[in-house]
């Protein structure tokens, strides 16, 4: 590769809590030494948030730089409430922008932005979508080279490419001692087969293979490695589950939250019947799964160093959203509330140079900003990267002062199943306000109440702050053409 432009590697995990990583939580029990090493050379964004804590909307924002209400993928594709089921091909797609900038654009792993066209959709709960584009919204039809894995993927274990990989390498994928590659998987389980049989190992093989092809060209590359984990099923290989098998994991400080002052919408995904031991066992597998992913990230980094690509490659690590894991009285899933556990995401950006140092950034950042930052790294003019809702974070990476950076951050939600309720979150300083179109709004002082136990929405002393946040949220809705503004104006 003879171009003077830098390569870009985006590593994206699914349902990855920021507080799993020691760079965000020094008391974390989850061991991720390879990500820790990357963090020591990166800008670490402490106030990074997903634009939406549901897979498809967040991933569409990464590809378009737009908020869900703008790009139309407002919940998971082919689910009620989603307006766009196959990601449209436009000049502003991340892949198309990168190609315009002279990059090879590659991708492997979870996509979740197209089933392959409405004719390929097999139905969710026996339902057929009322509308979907005729085109096939998979990566190879949208400018990417690499792999097409339509739909959600359920962990990526049933795709024919992975099955062929296992067969060609005389491998089986065994969970709890049983070959489960082609069958149903448990919510949690121990992978007893070789590490080479795991999906995360397979994806890194795919990444290395494509990067090798790209490196033969006389132009830079941008490659996206999208792990399906640590989203459930939480399947941890034995050697990584052993790290946590006998570890006592204390309950979250908000595990006993009664939820009495919170939105009733949350009850959809709250399981009060399960004791902490249920979530403790879940977390052991969750952490083990994450440690396994971390090991494969380390394998990819080693490859980049061996090929003299590491110092010439900017690395971005992030996730689509977090995970509840029993917070606030046994919440599961991620899409019916807007607590820190699901809204905060990890975000590390390592520059493409030798001898990088850690930079801690407290400015607000979101998924759309990752889109703009990649375009900035690719050398596109600033105005191109700022046509959407995002702004480039690279000045923070270079330790430049941004006095013009927004002091407010907004995220949105609808849910991920049949119970739909539009909701919005706004952050300012240490305050968070959450608007639910149906149900109780929430207001938190995160400085005094980091675990969001005390909803201050009805506290007379906090009414001035509430009105201030509502005014800023309304202004954001108007400026960003969020049509929820009409209902919001009537309800506040």
φ and ψ at residue 189, rounded to 5 degrees: -170, 165
- For 369-418, what is each residue's pLDDT tens digit? 999 999 999 998 877 766 778 999 999 999 998 888 999 999 999 988 77
Element (H, E) at 360: strand 359-366
Q: Locate 92 and state its tokens.
A: 């502003």
Instruction: Go through 365-376 and write b for each residue having 16 or more CB atoms within 10 A of its CB, e for each that does not.
Output: bbbbbbbbbbbb
pLDDT for the residue numbered 1: 42
Q: Locate 257 and state its tokens.
A: 């939250």
452: left (phi over 0), alpha (psi -120 to 50) or beta: left
Ordered structural domains, the chain, with CATH: 7-402 (3.40.720.10), 422-492 (3.30.1120.10)
User: What are the CA-CA distances from residue 238 to residues 32, 191, 288, 417 (Å)?
Assistant: 16, 6, 8, 33
> How many whole angstroms separate alpha carbon 331 and alpha carbon 153?
23
pLDDT for the residue numbered 415: 87
β-strand pairing of 178-179 with 221-230: unpaired
Residue 178 near residue 235, CB atoms below 8 Å: no
Residues 6 or more apart whose Cβ sits within 8 Å of residue 333: 269, 324, 416
Quickly list DSSP for 329-350. HHB-SSSS---HHHHB--EEEE
Q: Is the pLDDT of residue 248 over 90?
A: yes
> How many whole angstroms separate alpha carbon 182 and alpha carbon 185?
9
Edge-to-edge strands of the sheet including 174-175?
A: 178-179, 174-175, 188-191, 234-237
Q: How much of the chain, in percent, has pLDDT values that exceed 90?
A: 80
Quickly list DSSP for 116-146. SSGGG---BTTB--S---SS--SGGGTT-EE
pLDDT for the residue numbered 419: 83
Q: In the predicted model, what is the mean pLDDT of residues 187-215?
A: 97
3-state secondary structure of 314: strand
Residues 6 or more apart whose Cβ sits within 8 Å of residue 12: 62, 109, 110, 224, 225, 226, 227, 317, 318, 319, 320
pLDDT for the residue numbered 118: 61
pLDDT for the residue numbered 180: 74
Q: Which of 46-50, 155-159, 481-485 has the highest mean pLDDT?
A: 46-50
pLDDT-derived band at 267, boundaries 50, 70, 90: confident
Q: Is the pLDDT of residue 124 over 70?
A: no
- For 203-230, what is each residue's pLDDT tens digit? 999 999 999 999 999 999 999 999 999 9
> How many whole angstroms separate alpha carbon 31 and alpha carbon 425?
31
Quickly list DSSP for 410-437. EEEE--SSS----EEEEEETTEEEEEES
Q: Is the pLDDT of residue 321 over 60?
A: yes
pLDDT-derived band at 3, boundaries 50, 70, 90: low
Of 379, 421, 261, 385, the residue nearest 328 (C-alpha): 261
Our CA angle for 83, 84, 90, nearest 5°, is 135
Q: Which of 180-184, 277-281, 345-349, 447-451 has the lowest mean pLDDT?
A: 180-184
β-strand pairing of 347-350 with 188-191: unpaired
pLDDT for the residue numbered 57: 97
Side-chain-facing half-sphere of 214: CA atoms under 13 Å: 31
What letter would DSSP give residue 22? T
Q: What's the first-to-final CA gap in the chain, in angstroms?
A: 56
Q: What crossing angle do the helices spanning 199-214 and 160-168 adopt, rounded to 10°?
A: 90
Side-chain-facing half-sphere of 489: CA atoms under 13 Å: 10
Is the peptide bond prior to 230 cis by the omega test (within 30 degrees of 0)? yes
Q: Taking all residues of the chain, what is their mean pLDDT, rounded to a whole number?
A: 93
Q: In the predicted model, what is the mean pLDDT of residues 434-461?
A: 96
Q: Which residue has the higher pLDDT, 462 or 268?
A: 462
Q: In the predicted model, what is the mean pLDDT of residues 117-126?
A: 58
Of 232, 10, 216, the residue nearest 108 (C-alpha): 10
Q: In DSSP terms, which residues pair with 412 in a beta bridge?
A: 424
> How many whole angstroms separate alpha carbon 172 and alpha carbon 123?
29
> How many whole angstroms separate alpha carbon 149 and alpha carbon 157?
11
Residue 46 near residue 359, CB atoms below 8 Å: no
- For 127-171, what is each residue's pLDDT tens digit? 555 555 667 899 999 999 999 999 999 999 999 999 999 999 999
> How many whole angstroms separate alpha carbon 488 and alpha carbon 476?
12
Q: How far is CA 491 from the centre of its chain?
A: 31
Residue 47 near residue 364, CB atoms below 8 Å: yes
Q: Is the pLDDT of residue 2 over 50?
A: no
Our CA angle for 228, 233, 236, nearest 5°, is 85
pLDDT for the residue numbered 268: 80
């Amino acid at each position: 590769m003879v171009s003077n432009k830098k390569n870009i590697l985006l590593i994206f995990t699914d349902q990855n809590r920021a507080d799993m990583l020691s760079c965000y939580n020094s008391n974390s029990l989850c061991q991720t030494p390879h990500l820790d090493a990357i963090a020591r050379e990166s800008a670490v964004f402490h106030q990074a948030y997903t634009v939406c804590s549901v897979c498809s909307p967040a991933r569409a924002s990464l590809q378009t730089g737009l908020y869900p209400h703008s790009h139309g993928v407002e919940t998971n594709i082919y689910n009620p409430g989603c307006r766009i089921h196959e990601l449209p091909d436009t000049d502003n797609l991340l892949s198309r922008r990168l190609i315009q900038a002279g990059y090879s654009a590659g991708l492997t792993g979870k996509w979740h932005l197209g089933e392959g066209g409405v004719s390929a959709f097999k139905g969710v709960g026996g339902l057929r979508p009322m509308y979907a584009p005729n085109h096939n919204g998979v990566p190879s039809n949208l400018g990417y080279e690499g792999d097409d894995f339509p739909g959600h993927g359920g962990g990526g274990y049933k795709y024919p490419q992975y099955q062929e990989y296992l067969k060609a390498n005389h491998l089986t994928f065994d969970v709890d001692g049983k070959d489960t590659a082609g069958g149903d998987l448990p919510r949690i389980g121990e992978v007893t087969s070789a590490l080479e049989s795991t999906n995360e190992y397979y994806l890194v093989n795919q990444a290395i293979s494509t990067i090798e092809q790209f490196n033969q060209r006389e132009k830079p590359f941008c490659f996206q490695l999208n792990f399906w984990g640590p989203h459930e099923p939480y399947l941890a290989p034995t050697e990584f589950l052993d790290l946590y098998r006998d570890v006592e994991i204390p309950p979250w400080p908000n595990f006993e939250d009664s939820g009495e002052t919170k939105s009733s919408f949350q009850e959809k995904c709250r399981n009060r019947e399960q004791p902490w031991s249920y979530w403790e066992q879940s977390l052991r597998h969750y952490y083990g799964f994450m440690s396994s992913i971390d090991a494969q990230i380390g394998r990819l980094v080693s490859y980049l160093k061996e090929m003299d690509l590491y110092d010439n490659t900017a690395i971005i690590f992030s996730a689509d959203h977090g995970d509840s894991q029993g917070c606030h009285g046994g919440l599961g899933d991620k899409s019916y509330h807007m607590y820190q556990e699901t809204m905060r995401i990890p975000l590390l950006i390592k520059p493409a140079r030798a001898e990088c140092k850690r930079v801690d950034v407290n400015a607000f950042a979101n998924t759309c900003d990752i889109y703009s930052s990649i375009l900035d790294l690719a050398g596109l003019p600033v105005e191109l990267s700022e046509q959407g809702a995002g702004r480039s974070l690279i000045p923070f990476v270079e330790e430049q002062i941004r006095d013009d950076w927004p002091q407010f951050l907004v995220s949105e939600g609808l849910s991920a199943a049949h119970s739909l309720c539009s909701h919005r979150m706004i952050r300012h300083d240490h305050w968070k306000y959450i608007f639910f179109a149906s149900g109780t709004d929430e207001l938190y002082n995160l400085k005094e109440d980091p675990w969001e136990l005390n909803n201050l929405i009805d506290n007379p002393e906090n009414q001035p702050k509430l009105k201030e946040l509502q005014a800023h949220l309304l202004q954001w809705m108007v400026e960003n053409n969020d049509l929820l503004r009409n209902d919001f104006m009537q309800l506040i």
